[in-house]
Amino acid sequence: MTNLLDIENLRVRFPTRQGHFDAVRGISFSLRRERLGIVGESGSGKSMTGRAILKLIRKPGQITADRMQMGDTDLLTASDKQMRRIRGRHASMIMQDPKFSLNPVMTVGQQITEALRTHERISRRDAHARAIKMLDAVAIRSPERVMDLYPHEVSGGMGQRIMIAMMLIPDPEILIADEPTSALDVSVQLQVLGILDKLVTDRGMGLIFISHDLNLVSNFCDRILIMYAGRVVEVCQAGRLHEATHPYTRGLLNSVPDLEHPRPRLDVLKRDPAWAEAPSVSALT
């Protein structure tokens, strides 16, 4: 099976007044038609990794890598124009909070059809019909009505589903979901994940699922990268997360309060400076 994405030795660097800061420090991974989870604390570089794949790092941030290959395209040498064609058509990204990532002055319908009309020659009417079908696929009741609503008129869970619809409508091969459900309630979270799971499976897409929630990722993904301080410290199969050996992964697992297995005190992570210095584990396949 061919890889959808190959990344080797990726670095994201930001110059600061005190020299430079590396948010991502030389990580390598590949993505097949699978669900790949990236987990870590805030500041571990997981979101920066996701954004770097689409070259969405704002200047003065710099992306360097030995190789960044998406299908036939070499992302390292791709021009801005080529990148705009790739984003949406080949790979798209679902952001964390629909409140900040939907355009507040465009209706839901306008935003979804815009995504479609940018990438395809399609009539307004066909675009409208496809958008309605897509909203229906993300389990939005009465999609006709929702098409004419503005983002502030929909709930958080609905906003997130609208965003998923918008990102999936150009039918990309790779979907990067950056904490797609952190802003949602548990019960809505399940519903949104269920929809995402179904669409990804049905369309045979590659999914990169970025989250801080280990248990969620272990239930939802096939393979997991655990990031710490800009590096990958451990790679494991999702079903085997509970057999993970790295002390950082163990620490994260043990610090989560478990409803069914109560403990009087939660374990607190003891950070070892060596974790940040150890070379990144490769997740190439």
CB of 188 to other proteins, least distance (A): 7
CB of 238 to other proteins, least distance (A): 10
Q: Which among 122, 52, 64 is positioned nearest to 93, based on CA atoms?
A: 52
Report the distance separating Cα 178 and Cα 211, nearest Å.
Answer: 7
List, in order, residues 6 or more apart from 247 with CB less than 8 Å away: 270, 272, 275
**Omega before 279 cis (within 30°)?**
no
Nearer to other proteins, 13 or 46 (CB): 46
Angle between helical axes of 108-119 and 80-89 (0-180°, round to 10): 120
Burial of 238 (0-12, 13-18, 19+ CB in 10 A): middle
Nearer to other proteins, 124 or 265 (CB): 265
Q: Which among 153, 165, 31 is positioned nearest to 94, based on CA atoms?
A: 165
CB of 250 to other proteins, least distance (A): 11
CB of 62 to other proteins, least distance (A): 25
Report the distance separating Cα 271 and Cα 157, nearest Å.
Answer: 36
Nearer to other proteins, 105 or 186 (CB): 186
Nearer to other proteins, 84 or 198 (CB): 198
Nearer to other proteins, 147 or 232 (CB): 232
For other proteins, the binding residues (CB under 8 A) are: 41-42, 156, 185-190, 193-194, 197, 212-214, 216, 219-220, 251-252, 255-260, 262-263, 265-269
Report the distance separating Cα 108 and Cα 111, nearest Å.
Answer: 5
CB of 220 to other proteins, least distance (A): 5
Q: Which stretches within the chain are classed as H helix?
A: 46-53, 80-89, 98-101, 108-119, 124-137, 143-147, 156-168, 186-203, 214-220, 247-254, 273-277
Nearer to other proteins, 104 or 264 (CB): 264
CB of 125 to other proteins, least distance (A): 36
